[in-house]
Structure 1
Amino acid sequence: MTSTHDAQDFSEDHSELRAQLATLTTEAFRPELADIDRLPTLDIAQIMNGEDRSVPGAVTTQLPAIAAAIDATAKRMARGGRLVYAGAGTAGRLGVLDASECPPTFNTAPDQVVGLIAGGPSAMVTSVEGAEDSTELAAKDLDDLGLTADDTVVGISASGRTPYAVGAVEHARALGALTIGLSCNADSALAAAAEHGIEVVVGPELLTGSTRLKAGTAQKLVLNMISTITMIRLGKTYGNLMVDVRASNEKLRARSRRIVALATGAPDDEIESALTAADGEVKTAILMLLATLDAPTAAARLQQTGGHLREALQG
């Protein structure tokens, strides 16, 4: 049975949190949508589509901050650092998703881009009670990774106040790591705690407080930029070709052959021969064909340029 004292504490704690939430744009109530459940399905879909169209414009306002954060991240990763996302709920899931796409797309090592979600892997599908409220849990998760000053930590939180995300950024910064705070409210605690603050203000949601909607879309767009452009800067692409693709299935093997063909214009038999000699490494095969090199020489030249194909071709 709950005591009167406990009930009073519960009420006071939540009153403070409710007051905080009331100041957040992402939590604002929209009275003009109060009868949305009475509308025809097509009308609701049109409203949602209109809401979504506003997100890229909100991201546009943050492009200088995003670019600065990417350049700083690429410098750290070029020294061997890792990119670590940390968030709770939807924000955490988006970070895990972006991290999980990097190995097959850019041939990164499994621990080179990491997604941390409050509560651990099980929180991807099941809510873990109280995990997002723990700054200590964030610090422990980063310590378990053996975080270094060459690493980059991106705290992700729509509200910009989630203790797990803020705690991750604060702990990482204390260890000398690069820190980025991605939120969807202005003047957030997360941006203030980070070296690079990115605040994509998308406004109130279609469903009050459901930040898996516009805020989630905005976060996904920014994470796409952070990972993709960082990988471009690290030489993981040649032009707009994914030359570090990992051919782990038939579709990707076919894509590897197509990428070599687009980059070189070589006939199929030469492409097959080069890929076989290069043990399936697309960049090596392209350099072999364009610079008329054997596989060991091409591989050595790529190693000398840190994997940058364009530099290897110029050399």
Structure 2
Amino acid sequence: MPERPPLMRTLVALAVTLAAGAALLFGAPARSGPPQPLSVGAAWPGAERGSVPSHLADGSTYAPGLFLDARTSIGTARSADNKTLRLLVIGPEGSERQLRRVPSTDRGPFSALTSSGDTLVWVETVKSKPQLWTADLRSDGSARMLTADVGGLRLYDSQFDVTVAGGIVRWAAAEGDGTEFRSVAVTGGPVTVQRVAGNWGLSAWPWAVDGQTSATGTSTLRNLSTGQDVAVPTARRAVTACSPAWCELVSLNEEGDTRIELSHPDGSARRVAAEGPVGTVIGDVVVLDRFAVFGRTGPQSELSGNQELLVYDLTDRSTVLVSPDAADISYRGGVLWWSTGDRNSYVRNSLDLRTV
């Protein structure tokens, strides 16, 4: 490259000096676009996290259905030959405790796991017919069936599909064009049925939400103890889902991107939580009345099928990146979990949001 003339070298040096001085004086130019989310370690350094391998020591595949804390899970282990299903408690150091073992013929995996204190309840399906079972987590005693009288059990992949409160197990069932709210004592006994018109699902007790199959989602919250109804403001071009404390409204903005907004059921405190190539990824709204969980697709999502896992914290309106490459995202009882890796080798990671 030919050498610059002396005058040109002087002008270039002067320009560089002036640019450096301006940067020192005024700071670097501001980056355009929304602020980048913090990592979990930066935002919540004290949060408890854990992981569970996809295969146990004997080679059985394992799928958690509930985390008691970040390092203790309960889930289904399917034997390598696919002949057996086990319901196990997996401890922090990989310890295993069997709650139930059944032949896999004509059976679906244990599902809708929920707990209250030391009481564990789940759905067990035999020849396409669901049953409710329970076990005491304090003892090694055998599990027992609570009832097979569950009606047309509705499962929406929500932590409230089956609830345990005040010694009573509750769930919703389909009945024609209406809904049955069913309940049974955790000690067993007859099933109580309350029939209502419309398509309802359970939320945090004593609340229920309607619109489970409606194109626009929730329009009413109902207190099942008092009969009080609370109307929820809806928008024609938005899908609404609600808990007793918060509603989530998903719509399209002017550019055709997804917009996720949050507000109280009366419409107050409305704010945008996420916008762009985003979507909801769990069946519950603003968990722990604080965290909205959503996913965001990126350039590699079409190839991997995975997405960024993000959590919006309502306390300071910040967004936290939980995982840049997550799949099989689930939540129950305060713990969020997801898979990383590929179908042949993956790990399920967990984050206890109660410890944030």
TM-score (norm 2): 0.23
Larger helix fraction of residues = 1
Between Structure 1 and Structure 2, which shows a larger proportion of strand residues? Answer: 2
Higher relative contact order (CA 8 A, sep 6+): 1
